[in-house]
Amino acid sequence: MSAYFGEDRLCSVSRELTKMFEENKRGSLKEVAEYFSQKNVKGEIVIVVQGLNE
């Protein structure tokens, strides 16, 4: 996604929605990728990427 949208594009990554271990992380694609690269991520994941500001 960083290669396509640019690493500064804002995004939100949510996992395990409506469950006990729900987690949400917001930031640039680069920041979020660095955060999750240091974790062993399991479960359902939803990624929302900011649209293009024209």
pLDDT tens-digit readout, 25-51: 999 999 999 999 999 888 899 999 999
Residue 19, Cβ neighbours under 10 Å: how many?
10
Instruction: Find out whether 22 and 14 touch, Cβ atoms under 8 Å.
Output: yes
Burial class (CB in 10 A: 0-12, 13-18, 19+), 9: middle
Q: What is the pLDDT of residue 46?
A: 96
**Alpha-carbon dihedral 30, 33, 37, 41, rounded to 10 degrees:** 170
Mean pLDDT of the chain: 93
Q: Which tokens hold the place of 53?
A: 């500001």
SS3 39: coil
Domain ranges, ordered by start, for the chain:
2-49
